[in-house]
Homo-oligomer: A and B are copies of this chain.
Amino acid sequence: MQLPANFNEQKKPQLFEGLSESSLQALLQRSVMQDYDSGRVLVQQGDNPECIFLVLDGSLKTTRINEDGGEAIIRMLEAGDTCMEAVLFMGIPSPINVQAMSVAKILKIPDSVVKKHVLEDPAFAVNLLRIVSRHYKNAMHQIEAMNIKSPLQRVGYYFLLKHIEQGHENLDFKLPFKKQVVANYLGMTPETFSRTLKQMKDIGIKVEEDTIRMRDSFALCHFCDSDTASLCSRHDQAECEKCPLH
């Protein structure tokens, strides 16, 4: 298995965090790297899971599709993210599709390797637990969002997360995916998403193409909740009066 030259320079994926060198090598030696074209389907609902996918470059989405052809986006993955770990342990055919959203370079770790390694290296098991737990947390947010939040709140909360991810100091940040995709992820139509973006101008958030510009760094505080506040670098300061932690 030949890893890309810059592999060690990138931020280490959570999957490998804290593993001993020998443990890491044992995994990598049994893995395969593969390139996919944009739009390529890697897994379909009903397939038996064969491996974990680790995104080295590009982006994937995981979705569910119902009979009527409607598609619900579960996750959108970028470099360093993994998918199918959870499915592996469900013991059932895959409930999700995995599809490339761009050309993508993927590391595939076979099912059997993962299941064996979990029993041999507890650190690896804990990494998997953390990853699946995080997925579950995000899923809970999505459920909450669609149950009780208005479109404006949904978009605002999503923006807040992206704002924090991309550096708290910047007043600008970028949408990492096409608007259609984000709209679906947030459970609304592209039209509704577009109209919602216009509403956001009124609260000081301009949208130019795929760049979001905030008037000030508190513009998104309305949308904060206790989960997210703990990620906020200013949450212990008095600056943000709206902060739910105060």
Contact = CB atoms under 8 A, between A and B. Distances in A.
Contact of A226 (B89, B93, B119): B93
Q: Which DSSP category, helix, strand, loop or mixed, fits chain A's interface?
A: helix
A136 B72 contact: no
A157 B11 CA distance: 42
A24 interface: no
Interface string A112-151: 0000001110110110111011111101111110111100
Nearest to A72: B147
Interface string A29-43: 000000000000000
A152 interface: no
Contacts of A139: 136, 139-140, 142-143
A2 interface: no
A92 B72 CA distance: 27
Contacts of A191: none
**Residue among A74, A147, A149 with most chain B CB within 10 A:** A147
B227 A187 contact: no
Nearest to A64: B144
A118 B134 CA distance: 18
Contacts of A129: 89, 118, 125, 128-129, 132
Nearest to A47: B226
B147 A146 contact: yes
A148 B89 contact: no
B144 A66 contact: yes
A210 interface: no
Interface of A: 45-46, 64, 66-68, 70-72, 74, 86-93, 95-96, 118-120, 122-123, 125-126, 128-130, 132-137, 139-144, 146-149, 184, 187, 225-227, 230, 244
29 contacts: A45-B226, A46-B226, A64-B140, A64-B144, A66-B144, A66-B225, A67-B244, A70-B147, A70-B148, A71-B148, A72-B148, A74-B143, A86-B132, A86-B136, A87-B133, A87-B137, A89-B129, A89-B130, A92-B137, A95-B227, A118-B122, A122-B122, A125-B129, A132-B136, A135-B136, A139-B139, A139-B140, A142-B143, A143-B187
